[in-house]
Amino acid sequence: MSQGEAAKQPQGANQAGQPAPPPPAEEPSTGISRARFSDPQEVAVQEYRAVSGLAVSGLLLGLLSVTALFTRLLWIVPAAGIAVSAVALRRIAEEAPALIGRKAALVGLILSVGFAVAAPTDWVVHRWLLRREARQFAMFWFDVLRQGAPHKAHQLTLHPGSRQPLEGKLWDHYTNDWRNYREIRGYVGGPLIRTLLALNGKAEVRYYDTERQWEGDDGDALRQVYAVTFEENGKKKTFFVGMTLERIPLRKSGRSDWRVTNADGGIKPADRTAVATVH
């Protein structure tokens, strides 16, 4: 066949003049004919990972660790939270990726450690503040006696809720009522009060020590020791005063106030080598 004849042949014809067979028809796409089927239960089993119960427990203990700020009896809560969260993290690391819950364990650990540090710190700071407040109140009690005002000092021994105002005509409260007058006479007649009044403001009072600190039925209480130094016949002498002070919360005002519940002179300080009177 010449080139001209070949050019005149219709497209789709072979060299023998027979028409070319048509291309195979494409199968309609249904979207599922070639899809790969999987068992849903098999997929779920492959994707499931257990949540660590210890991690959840550590998180709960971490959240509950805030209660350690309220009482020392609950300091065990953050300690337990630290232990449980640490064990949870170790097991999750050993059994990963089958076990999850690392973030929960970390949060529980952080909260537990935070409150484990905050609770003792708050307790120490609270005790230090109480001691400072008690010292200020005790020094005020000494000051009013040095100023020759035993009636004011007596008021500082009463419950803050029933205390009379220290300013104004406080003496009238004692002189106009026989019971109050007898009470102030007995107070002034005590050996310690009589001695402090006799020194006539010439004594020097210094804080010496806090022997005890505890939580009483009505509030916080402390036992403190103060050194009273005075000069006699050209020589300095010192005696010690033991004071019990109580901090009482006032429900109506929402604040707290102090009172002197006991004061003894001529004591020997505990855990000290000093004697009651030093010449």
Q: Is the peptide bond before 24 cis (omega within 30 degrees of 0)?
A: no
202, 230 Cβ separation under 8 angstroms: yes
Classify the phi-psi angles of 23: left when phi > 0, otherwise alpha if psi is within -120 to 50, otherwise beta: beta
Tell me which residue has tokens 């009589």: 194
pLDDT one digit per residue (tens) for the chain, 279 residues: 544 454 445 555 555 555 666 666 555 555 444 445 455 555 444 567 899 999 999 999 999 999 999 988 999 999 999 999 999 999 999 988 888 999 999 999 999 999 999 999 999 999 999 999 999 999 999 999 999 999 999 999 999 989 999 988 899 999 999 999 999 999 999 999 999 999 988 899 999 999 999 987 778 999 999 999 999 888 999 999 999 999 999 887 778 999 999 999 988 887 544 433 332
